[in-house]
């Protein structure tokens, strides 16, 4: 169980891109500009503070970018960059690690972990601010901040941009965070996945529900090397007035102008046995297409084979600039989270937490990669947020944000259960509710009633 007394209720963490409001993001861009104007002029901002990087997955740019950012702010750095040399190899939980390191050891933590939702666990147990450096296939919010900042500087705006996402859209946590952020800024997204690596349904569902994104099949002007790699191109928009049903409208949206092409490598560390022989490859011929005339080429790096090296010299290739801009962007973020700079913008509104969902009974997260189904089985209990209280209730895991429909509602004290649409279910007070996916799940937890 989480010791709530250890957690500072006023601290801010960045686990998801949703932990920052749109206005806060834009304000952070301006602070990043100030830091970037003279990277050597800010060594007094965080003097005397220490950042710990806890990386349980390999990293070059993210870890070094954070460490460089803290050193330029005048702080110190301690790091655990090799999982084999940490106590995790002995079986220590992430919760115990951050409790120790996020105390007298360090004033802010950056965590990278292979399990979805791990960063939220770290944020809950650590007394100091936690930044998600990438957790499984869930999110990579600071990469998204760097990507947005790069686009904003390159194009002068984010709203209305036409952004092509190409390659592995299923397992790329960077893509998932980027999609949510682009939708918030009302940019238009063209997905061109490698077959079998399409954007997950839960990402599409969230885009539609939370941001009003509509989708249709997309027809993209010829882009040699990447167009034609998939017949599942889709156009996702939160800014167009036409009403498009999710992948049911037969009319293609013609895409004749592209502002940015965002390439991704195949995330081989998160899947096995899937053939990537004909994976998309962006080359000079791709950029000769009329639609790509003004398209910036982006990539979160590392690159493998998906962008030819002779594209590096093209002025439209900005992926190394993305990496460079990561330092001032992360300087601004850490200075903010540590209270060294103040933002005028208001924070985001939080989703309501469903009371009773930490009772240890009821639904479990359906994401097998979630930390609650792996390391967390030893010490975490079910914890969900109520996304939609209507028919049927939709709950999202408080750790990995994967959503589940709850068709049965139980009374924690009476140990009775009812279908979600029965009058008895609606009469159960929020603090006494527990949710279930199925009759069998309710019965196994010891609940009885008309539903059973």
Percent of the chain with pLDDT over 70: 86
Domain boundary among 322, 354, 380: 322
**152 & 292 share domain:** yes
Same domain, 175 and 286: yes
Lowest mean pLDDT among 224-233, 286-295, 312-321, 383-392: 224-233
Shared domain check, 160 and 299: yes
Question: Does 298 fall in a domain?
Answer: yes
Same domain, 85 and 209: no
Is 160 part of a structural domain of the chain?
Answer: yes
Strands 433-436 and 408-411: antiparallel
Name the pTM for this structure. Answer: 0.87
Query: Which of 27-36, 163-172, 173-182, 301-310 shows the highest mean pLDDT?
Result: 27-36
For residue 234, give the 3-state DSSP assignment: strand
Assess if residue 346 is contained within a domain.
no
Query: In this model, does residue 345 exceed pLDDT 70?
Result: yes
| Residues 90 and 118 placed together within one structural domain of the fold | yes
The residue-averaged pLDDT of 136-165 equals 94
What average pLDDT does this structure show over 244-270? 73
106 and 187 both lie in a single domain: no
The pLDDT, as a whole number, for residue 271 is 65
pLDDT for position 357:
47
Domain count along the chain = 3
Q: Is residue 84 part of a domain?
A: yes
The CATH number assigned to the domain holding 75 equals 3.40.50.1370
Same domain for 378 and 315: no
Query: For residue range 91-111, what is the model confidence (pLDDT) as tens digits?
Result: 789 999 999 999 889 999 999
CA–CA separation, 374 and 369 (whole Å): 7
Please tell me the chain's helix, strand, coil percentages from 3-state DSSP, rounded to the nearest 5: 35, 20, 45
Residue 451 maps to a domain: no
C-alpha–C-alpha distance, residues 230 and 248, integer Å: 18
- Domain encompassing residue 402: 371-444
For the cut 80, the answer to whether the pLDDT of residue 134 exceeds it is yes
Give the list of residues 6+ apart from residue 320 with CB closer than 8 angstroms, or none: 312
Same domain? For 277 and 171 the reply is yes
In 10 A of CB 105, how many CB atoms? 13
Based on the domain organization, do 193 and 297 belong to the same domain?
yes
Last residue of a domain, one of 263, 295, 322: 322
Kindly state whether residues 329 and 376 are assigned to the same domain.
Answer: no
Please indicate, yes or no, if residue 130 is contained in any of the structural domains: yes
Q: Over the stretch 269-304, which tens digit does the pLDDT of each residue have?
A: 666 667 777 888 999 999 998 889 999 999 988 898
Give domain status of residue 232, yes or no: yes
Rounded Cα distance between 381 and 321, Å, is 42
54 lies in some domain: yes
Note whether 170 and 38 are same-domain residues: no
Q: Residue 356: what pLDDT? A: 39
Residue 388, pLDDT > 80, answer no
Considering the domain architecture, whether residues 50 and 175 belong to the same structural domain is answered as no
């Amino acid at each position: 169980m989480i010791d709530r007394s250890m957690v500072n209720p006023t601290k801010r963490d960045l686990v998801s891109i949703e932990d920052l409001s749109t206005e806060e993001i834009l304000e952070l861009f301006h602070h990043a500009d100030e830091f970037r104007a003279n990277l050597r002029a800010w060594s007094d901002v965080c003097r005397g503070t220490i950042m710990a990087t806890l990386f349980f997955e390999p990293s070059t740019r993210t870890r070094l970018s954070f460490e460089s950012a803290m050193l330029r702010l005048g702080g110190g750095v301690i790091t655990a960059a090799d999982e084999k040399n940490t106590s995790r190899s002995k079986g220590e939980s992430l919760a115990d690690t951050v409790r120790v390191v996020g105390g007298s050891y360090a004033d802010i933590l950056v965590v990278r972990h292979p399990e979805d939702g791990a960063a939220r666990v770290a944020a809950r147990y650590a007394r100091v601010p936690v930044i998600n450096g990438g957790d499984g296939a869930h999110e990579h919010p600071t990469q998204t901040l760097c990507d947005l900042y790069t686009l904003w500087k390159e194009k002068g705006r984010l709203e209305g941009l036409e952004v092509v996402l190409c390659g592995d859209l299923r397992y790329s946590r960077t893509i998932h965070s980027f999609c949510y952020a682009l939708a918030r800024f009302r940019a238009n997204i063209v997905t061109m996945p490698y077959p079998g690596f399409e954007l997950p349904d839960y990402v599409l569902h969230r885009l539609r529900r939370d941001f009003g994104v509509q989708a249709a099949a997309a027809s993209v002007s010829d882009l040699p090397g990447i167009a034609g790699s998939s017949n599942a191109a889709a156009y996702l928009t939160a800014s167009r007035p036409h009403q498009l049903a999710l992948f049911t409208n037969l009319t293609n949206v013609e895409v004749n102008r592209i502002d940015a092409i965002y390439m991704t490598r195949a995330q081989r560390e998160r899947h096995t046995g899937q053939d990537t022989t004909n994976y998309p490859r962006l080359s000079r011929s791709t950029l000769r297409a009329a639609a790509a005339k003004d398209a910036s080429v982006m990539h979160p790096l590392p690159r493998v084979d998906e962008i030819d090296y002779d594209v590096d010299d093209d002025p439209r290739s900005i992926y190394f600039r993305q990496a460079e801009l990561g330092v001032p962007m992360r300087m601004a973020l850490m200075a903010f989270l540590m209270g060294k700079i103040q933002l005028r913008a208001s924070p985001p509104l939080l989703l309501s937490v469903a009371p009773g969902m930490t009772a240890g009974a009821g639904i479990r997260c359906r994401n097998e990669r979630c930390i609650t189904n792996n390391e967390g089985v030893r010490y975490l209990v079910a914890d969900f947020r109520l996304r939609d209280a209507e028919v049927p209730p939709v709950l999202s895991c408080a750790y990995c944000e994967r959503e589940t429909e709850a068709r049965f509602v139980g009374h924690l004290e009476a140990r009775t259960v009812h279908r979600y649409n029965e009058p008895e279910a609606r009469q159960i007070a929020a603090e006494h509710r527990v949710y279930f996916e199925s009759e069998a799940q309710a019965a196994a937890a010891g609940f009885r009633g008309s539903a059973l």
